[in-house]
Amino acid sequence: MTIPHIIEQVVFYFSAIMVVISGIMVIAQRNPVRGALALVLAFVFSAVLWILLESEFLALALIFVYVGAVMTLFLFVVMMLDMDIEPMKRNFVRYLPIGLFISVLVLAFMIYVVAPEHFGLSKYAKPLHASAAYSNVKELGHVLYTKFVYPFELAAVLLLVAMVSAISLALPVVRERKLQNPAEQVMVKREDRIRLVNVPSEKRID
Amino acid sequence: MIALSNYLILGAILFSLSIAGFVLNRRNVITLLMCVELMLLAVNMNFIAFSHYLNDIKGQVFVFFILTVAAAETAIGLAIVVLLYRNKKTIDVQELDSLKG
């Protein structure tokens, strides 16, 4: 075991433990602001793990998109809503046994499936490190703009739809808008609009 | 040398943590949305680990699209939460029972 391997292991285990700890903080915090900050921590350490897996572009996208945009949106919404944290305490203890039971069950099944005897180093050997000339961004962009160009454009359309729907959902409804009512315009009668006034003519003044 | 199963087990732990979050925090919609984010992170971790160990870039492309869809989902979900709060003055899941017969 050489020094780089030891460093890799230390980075992996430290980041993995930090991800798990911040995940526990996300679900155990009563204050949603602290929960959001714990989720940011989870994203940052996941980005470290993704860099360890040599997918640099997605690690940076996770930081930029998630921490920079999505979690900021979360914090904005959390701070905009004036929610009471107090009554949220009650259910936590009540649902703790069933929650622990379900999650431990799911975890046991998943670990049984992905156990080291199925996905260990003997089955899937660690691939060689990419050379210094290898560019993950270049590789991903190449695939994305040739083979997956239609899904890529669909993703752009999806983002547009999401933007339009989010704006139209959250835009406050203005009651005093000056809108036309076409039915009213069509149904209008002559008597509604025109009033004939019989004005007596004045005498001529000499 | 870190095995593939280490990353998969980490993803499994994150996934089951967020399931526990769903069950425990049945009051706050925002916390539920954050649990969904944690769940997607676990899935993305598995995709990237497989992409690295099988030496196939398609896993990363998939994660790219998952990130896009997750961002859209979060934007719309938070807009719905804001609308919900404006109309009902609460985001407590247990009090949103208008559909109860």
Question: Which of B5, B17, B64 is facing A23, going by the closest CB pair?
Answer: B17
**Does this complex have an ipTM over 0.85?**
yes
Give the minimum alpha-carbon distance from B98 to chain A in angstroms, rounded to a whole number.
20
* Rounded Cα distance, A147 and A121, in Å: 31
Contacts of A124 in chain B (CB under 8 A): 3-4, 53-54
Domain edges within chain B: 26-92
For A25-71, what is each residue's pLDDT tens digit? 998 887 888 989 999 999 999 999 999 999 999 999 999 989 998 99
* Rounded Cα distance, A122 and A101, in Å: 32
Same structural domain, A26 and A42? yes
Compute how many other C-beta atoms are within 10 angstroms of the C-beta atom of residue A123: 13
The verdict on B53 touching A (C-beta cutoff 8 Å) is yes
Same structural domain, A13 and A31? yes
Question: Which of B10, B24, B38 is facing A16, going by the closest CB pair?
Answer: B10
Q: If we measure between CA atoms, which residue out of B99, B38, B53 comes closest to residue A54?
A: B53
CATH number, domain with residue A3: 1.20.120.1200
Same structural domain, A6 and A69? yes
Q: Which of A21, A53, A129, A137 should we substitute to test contact with B (largest number of B Cβ atoms within 10 Å)?
A: A53
Residue range of the domain that includes A121: 96-127
Same structural domain, A36 and A54? yes
Under DSSP, the state recorded for B92 is B
Same structural domain, A18 and A64? yes
Same structural domain, A123 and A104? yes
How far the first Cα of chain A sits from its last, in Å, is 124
Residue A80 covered by a domain: yes
Write out residues in chain B with pLDDT < 70, as ranges. Answer: 101
Residue A203 covered by a domain: no
Residue B35, CB-side half-sphere exposure with 13 Å CA sphere: 22
Residues 6+ apart with CB under 8 A from A133: none
Is the CATH number of domain B26-92 1.10.287.3510? yes
Write out residues in chain A with pLDDT < 70, as ranges. Answer: 1, 84-92, 174-177
